[in-house]
Amino acid sequence: MADDILKGRAWRLDHDISTDVLSPGAYAVDPVEVRKLHVLESVVPEFASEVRPGDMIVAGRNFGCGSSRETAAENLRALGVTCIVAESLSRLFMRNAIAVGLPALVCRDAHAAFTQGDEIQVHPGEGRIINVSSGLELEADPLPEEMCRILAAGGILAMLKGQGVA
């Protein structure tokens, strides 16, 4: 997965998007089919109905701050989001995104370089981000080898199965 080139449409989100808005507590123990309908509803109400498979998120600082809930990353993946690019990422969100096989990249300049709906291309392995609409090319922090390995396996559970721990 880390070697693929991802192509899609950018959803530009603000700073400090918390896990409470990515996966509201009131639906914490509902199945993913229910949870995904409430992603970002308190800040971008149209998101869950308008997001398309292949879309990516370009966010500001501290994306995914808050709780340990992996559902924040899992809900986005369930809606078809293929990559998160943010000015900075919460440690827990980044860890969880990688664990569920969703590439999450830190790129300090991305937020300013995109407007809502821009066409985006990302090469997670190389940390290369292109705003196809404007032609601007940006560099993200490269993902450490350890994280690339988990992404390549399709997430940490897939990796665990592959290791045959049982």
Partner 1 sequence: MAVGVWEPDEGGCGTVGMNLAERILARAAGRDQVAAGEFVMAEVDLALLHDIFAAQVFDLLREVGVDRVSDPDRTVVVIDHLVPAPSTAAAELHQKIREHVARLGIGAFYDAGRGICHQLLPEQGHIRPGELVVGTDSHTTTYGALGAGGTGIGTSDMVYALATGRLWFRVPETIRFEMTGQLMSGVSWKDVILHLAGRFGSDGAQYRAMEFAGPAVAGADMSSRLTVSNMALEMGAKFGLFAADEVTDAYLRDHGGAGTEPFQPDPDATYEAVHEIALSDLEPQVALPHEVDRVSPVVEVEGITINQAFIGSCTNGRIEDLRAAAEVLAGKHIADGVRLLVAPASQAVLGEALETGVAASLVEAGASILAPGCGPCFGGHGGLLAPGERCIGTHNRNFIGRMGSAQAEIYLASPATVAASALTGHITDPRHLEAPDGR
Report the interface residues with partner 1, using CB under 8 A.
Answer: 16, 18, 20-21, 24-26, 28-29, 41-43, 61-62, 65-70, 73, 88-92, 95-96, 99-100, 144, 146, 155-157, 159-161, 165-166
Q: For partner 1, which is the closer residue by CB, 52 or 161? A: 161
For the bound state, the minimum distance from the C-beta of residue 41 to partner 1, rounded and expressed in Å, comes to 8
Residue 89 vs 122, nearer CB to partner 1:
89
8-state DSSP, 111: H
For residue 61, the minimal CB distance to partner 1 (Å) is 6
Helix (H) or strand (E) holding 30: none
State the minimum distance, in angstroms, from the CB of residue 153 to partner 1.
11
CB atoms within 10 A of CB 133: 14
Q: Which helix (H) or strand (E) holds 81?
A: none
User: Which residue, 29 or 49, is less far from partner 1 as judged by CB?
Assistant: 29
Element of type H or E holding 145? helix 145-153
Q: To the nearest whole angstrom, how small is the minimum distance from the Cβ of residue 149 to partner 1?
A: 10
- Give the C-alpha distances (Å, rounded to integers) separating 85 from 17, 28, 37, 159: 13, 25, 22, 24
Report the residue number, 7 or 61, with the smaller CB distance to partner 1: 61
6-12 and 56-59 strand pairing: parallel
